[in-house]
């Protein structure tokens, strides 16, 4: 991740009229912003559009950015607000997304199709359960575990206290655990 000093130098160049200087910020953060949008909407095209709109809005608002703070949480805040507005406008069910975890398959797993099948079932069950939790809890889980952000970063992005972020993440995990147990019970009854 780019350091704050480099970001501030780039921002100053942009504010001085060098529009091309914005490209390194886009290059640095386009992957994480797209991933966030995709995980929240479950739609590739919407994610691309939202990521692009995030950078356009950030560029237009750059004069209001407080350079004593980090650029990255500010940009994520813009992205999250756009995504929330998109979900409301489109009346897209925010729980209908598929989230593919960033997991690494070990050499042993590649050789064991049964293990892979079990893992895939667990991933599908987790995705189903994640779809059922409220949007604010879903955001917290996605930012923490899929985007790999610290509690501090999530607090800054969300505009809530550090303890509130931790509470959201833990509440989300509790709801996911409950839902996973229910899913397991329903599957057992069907068998």
Q: What is the C-alpha to C-alpha distance for residues 17 and 12, in angstroms, rounded to an integer?
A: 9
Provide block-wise average pLDDT over 10 residues at a time, the chain (191 residues). Answer: 89 94 95 91 90 97 93 94 86 47 46 76 77 85 90 92 96 91 69 50
Structure token digits, residue 48: 């691309």
Domains along the sequence of the chain with CATH: 4-89 (1.10.1740.10), 125-184 (1.10.10.10)
pLDDT of residue 149: 92
Tokens 């980090």 sit on residue: 70
pLDDT of residue 166: 97
Q: What is the C-alpha to C-alpha distance for residues 34 and 130, in angstroms, rounded to an integer?
A: 19
Structure token digits, residue 8: 């501030």
pLDDT of residue 84: 87
pLDDT of residue 55: 97
pLDDT of residue 15: 95
pLDDT of residue 118: 79
DSSP string, the chain: ---HHHHHHHHHHHHTT-GGGGHHHHHHHHHHHHHHHHHHH--HHHHHHHHHHHHHHHHHTGGG--TTS-HHHHHHHHHHHHHHHHHHHTT--TT-----------HHHHH-HHHHHHHHHHHHHHHHHHHHS-HHHHHHHIIIIIS---HHHHHHHHTS-HHHHHHHHHHHHHHHHHHHHHHHHHHHHH-
């Amino acid at each position: 991740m780019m350091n704050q000093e480099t970001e501030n130098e780039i921002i100053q160049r942009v504010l001085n009229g060098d529009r091309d200087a914005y490209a390194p910020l886009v290059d640095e953060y386009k992957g994480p912003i797209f991933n966030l949008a995709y995980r929240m909407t479950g739609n590739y095209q919407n994610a691309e559009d939202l990521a692009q709109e995030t950078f356009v809005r950030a560029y237009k608002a750059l004069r209001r950015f407080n350079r004593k703070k980090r650029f990255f949480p500010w940009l994520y805040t813009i992205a999250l607000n756009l995504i929330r507005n998109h979900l409301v406008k489109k009346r897209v069910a925010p729980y209908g997304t598929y989230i593919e975890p960033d997991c690494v398959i070990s050499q042993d797993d590649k050789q064991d199709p049964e293990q892979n099948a079990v893992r895939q079932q667990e991933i599908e069950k987790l995705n189903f359960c994640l779809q059922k939790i409220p949007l604010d809890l879903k955001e917290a889980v996605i930012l923490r575990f899929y985007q790999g952000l610290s509690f501090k970063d999530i607090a800054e992005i969300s505009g809530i206290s550090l303890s509130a972020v931790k509470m959201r993440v833990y509440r989300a995990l509790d709801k996911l655990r409950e839902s996973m147990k229910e899913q397991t019970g329903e599957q057992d009854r069907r068998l």
